[in-house]
Copies of this chain bind each other. A is one copy, B any other.
Amino acid sequence: MSKNLHVAIVGATGAVGVELIKLLEKRHFPVGKLTLLASARSAGKLMPFAGDNVCVEELTEASFAGVDVAMFSAGGGISKQFAPVAVKAGAVVVDNSSAFRMDADVPLVVPEINGADIKRHKGIIANPNCTTAITLIALHPLHIEFRVKRIIASSYQAVSGTGAQAIEELRAQVAAIVGGQPVVKSVYPHQIAFNVLPHVDSFLETGYTKEEMKMQNEGRRIMHHPTFKASVTCVRVPVYRAHSVAVSAEFEKPVSLDRAREVLAKAPGLDVVDDPVGNLYPLPLHCAEKDNCEVGRLRYDCALDNGLAFWVSGDQLLKGAALNAIQIAEAL
């Protein structure tokens, strides 16, 4: 590809879109032209980029003329409708929605894990689910060493994973409670302030949510491990930014804590923060706006054979979304 690319961001005004714009600048992505696309409602809004203001345009079928890379983060429906349009117009699409993640023709990529899959693309590359990406950044190096069979995991997911309105809903609910006013809810079915909701994404007939099954479904594709099993409970917590996941993992080979620490210390995209007696362990508050994920609380699992338990935190707007998407675009 040429040095200066025409980049389009679909969903530019959303929580992930804002991070994408910041990262293009911060990482000196070779942007020749930046086209910001959103719904008609947001058209005309000015967004800062590289010392300038870029005007948001309404997304239409004509939006992708001359675009080299289109980064989609506006929900599965928009991706399904417009990603093929962008590809037809000659763009490579990096899609942050779940629309194409299970499509055999679309590589699903965490660059640190399966970056080589990018070259198999036929116009679209999918960005994985945020909780899955953050967990795999710590799990995959252990898998390479010990061969993971299955995990049981519980998540502690920040409201920014839902989007900008959810951040505002938590803020408004907390302000209302502090001020003695009634709590209003619209984004979540229940109050999120001072509460936790075992409900992320919609429910399947099995009783799992779609979000919970992404760990197994996407994990199998990303790790090239078709028999990987994952039982997950996804829970929304009143944290603004950065997800955390408690993981118990069972491996085929005998595990060694020392070796696990070595492997994790060398893993890309990951910092080991693990001195519990010194009160050092990954915290969502410390991972907010940080590129690398953090892993800690590493220990032999006391209920699983060849088992390790650990705790991983990461900014789901970055590694879980925008950063991963930019890394894919960089690899292109």
A contact residues vs B (CB 8 Å cutoff) = 150-152, 154, 156, 174-175, 178, 189-191, 194-199, 203, 206-209, 213, 216, 229-231, 233, 235, 237-240, 244, 246, 248, 276-277, 279, 281-285, 296-304, 307, 309, 311
A152, A174, A279, A299 — most chain B CB neighbours (10 Å): A152
* Given contact pairs A231-B309, A302-B206, A196 touches B277 in the complex (Cβ within 8 A): no
CB-based contact B246/A233 at 8 Å: yes
A178, A189, A297, A302 — most chain B CB neighbours (10 Å): A302
Question: Within the oligomer, what is the number of copies of this chain?
Answer: 2
CB of A245, distance to nearest CB on chain B (Å): 9
Chain A binding surface SS class = mixed
The 7 A-B residue pairs with the shortest CB-CB distance in the complex, in nearest-first order: A207-B299, A154-B154, A231-B303, A233-B246, A189-B279, A229-B303, A152-B152
CB-based contact A283/B239 at 8 Å: no
Q: How far is the CA of A244 from the CA of B156 in the complex (A)?
A: 12
The residue that A191 contacts in the complex, of B175, B285, B298, with Cβ under 8 A, is B285
Q: How far is the CA of A203 from the CA of B233 in the complex (A)?
A: 25
CB-based contact A240/B285 at 8 Å: no
CB of A146, distance to nearest CB on chain B (Å): 17
CB-based contact B196/A297 at 8 Å: no
